[in-house]
């Protein structure tokens, strides 16, 4: 990017157009919401992120909103980027497991939906272990709305299906207990 900024911006504009078209097609094919992933965004510091990623993400989100599509936005390793993510027009911010939920709530504010963020490794162990970890995640939240319980990344290949079910059950029970 630094040695040929014009070429990099041209590439990012082309990628933005293709990604927008693809996600709009997903919405038009029946998806109720789409999630946009910037898995490596956390490699940039906040100023570089605002320069090299966020403007293109915002363009994609605006194009999706223009057709009525809600957007969840995920950035990997994003704890240091929360102030930049607070400014995004995405409907929700999906957090990886490294972001403390209480800090995310403070920085993102009450009007931004948060998705996340139990570590995928937390689904290892017994179903009782998973239950405890899921409830612990919920206990760290100040809010009881505008939160989508999820993992902070994908389900690992060796995760037992019964542990995924235990996670879902713990979240349902945890919400009903509060």
Mean pLDDT by runs of 10 across the 178 residues of the chain is: 87 98 98 96 96 97 98 96 95 95 94 94 97 94 91 94 97 79
Instruction: With 0.85 as the threshold, say if the pTM is over it.
Output: yes
- Residue-averaged pLDDT of the chain: 94
- Is 88 within 8 Å of 109 (Cβ atoms)? no
Residues with Cβ within 8 Å of residue 60, at least 6 apart in sequence:
16, 19, 20, 23, 36, 71
């Amino acid at each position: 990017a630094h040695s040929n900024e014009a070429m990099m911006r041209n590439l990012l504009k082309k990628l933005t157009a293709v990604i927008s078209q693809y996600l709009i097609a997903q919405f038009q094919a029946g998806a109720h919401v789409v999630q946009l992933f910037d898995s490596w965004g956390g490699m940039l510091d906040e100023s570089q992120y605002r320069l090299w990623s966020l403007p293109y993400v915002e363009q994609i989100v605006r194009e999706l909103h223009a057709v009525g599509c809600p957007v969840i936005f995920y950035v990997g390793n994003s704890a240091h980027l929360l102030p930049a993510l607070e400014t995004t027009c995405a409907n929700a911010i999906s957090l990886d497991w490294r972001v403390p939920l209480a800090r995310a709530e403070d920085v993102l504010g009450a009007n931004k939906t948060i998705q996340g963020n139990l570590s995928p490794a937390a689904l290892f162990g017994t179903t009782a272990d998973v239950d405890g970890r899921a409830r612990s995640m919920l206990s760290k939240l100040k809010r009881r709305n505008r939160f989508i319980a999820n993992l902070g990344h994908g389900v690992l290949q060796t995760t037992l299906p019964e542990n995924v079910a235990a996670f879902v059950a713990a979240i349902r029970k945890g919400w009903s207990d509060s």
